[in-house]
Amino acid sequence: MRFRFRLIGTEVVSRAGRDVTGAWVEEAFLPDRSGGVIDSYRCVAQTRRPHHWRITMPVAGRDHIEFERIAFPLAADGENVDMLIVIHAFFDASPEH
């Protein structure tokens, strides 16, 4: 099971300092981070249940970004999860922090 980012919101791009739209998860994160993200997404797809987690993510040349993320399963046929929608909530008010 592989996951690709189909669309990255402008606020996420601004805070992360790069746009990974179209990239596979394992290409978008450092190796020590991608496994946890993949495991979480796989859990959402297999259990068909949302998953919430709080993250502190390192960003090159900037302070760490702290945010919460929730992933929801979506199924075109109403049964088999074929897409996730992921929502981020950042803890500070501006991307300059």
Q: Say what the pLDDT of residue 97 is.
A: 47
Q: Say what the pLDDT of residue 5 is.
A: 95
What is the tens place of the pLDDT at every residue in 16-31? 788 999 999 888 877 7
Q: Say what the pLDDT of residue 20 is.
A: 93
User: Is the model's pLDDT at 3 over the cut of 60?
Assistant: yes
More confidently predicted of 97 and 49:
49
What is the tens place of the pLDDT at every residue in 33-87? 778 888 999 999 999 999 998 877 776 666 777 889 999 999 999 999 999 999 9
Q: What is the DSSP string of the chain?
A: ---B-S---HHHHHHHTS--TT-BHHHHS-HHHHHHHHHHHHHHHHHT--EEEEEEEEETTEEEEEEEEEEEEE-TTSSS--EEEEEEEESSSSTT-
User: Is the model's pLDDT at 94 over the cut of 60?
Assistant: no
More confidently predicted of 49 and 88:
49
Domains and CATH numbers, the chain: 10-90 (3.30.450.20)
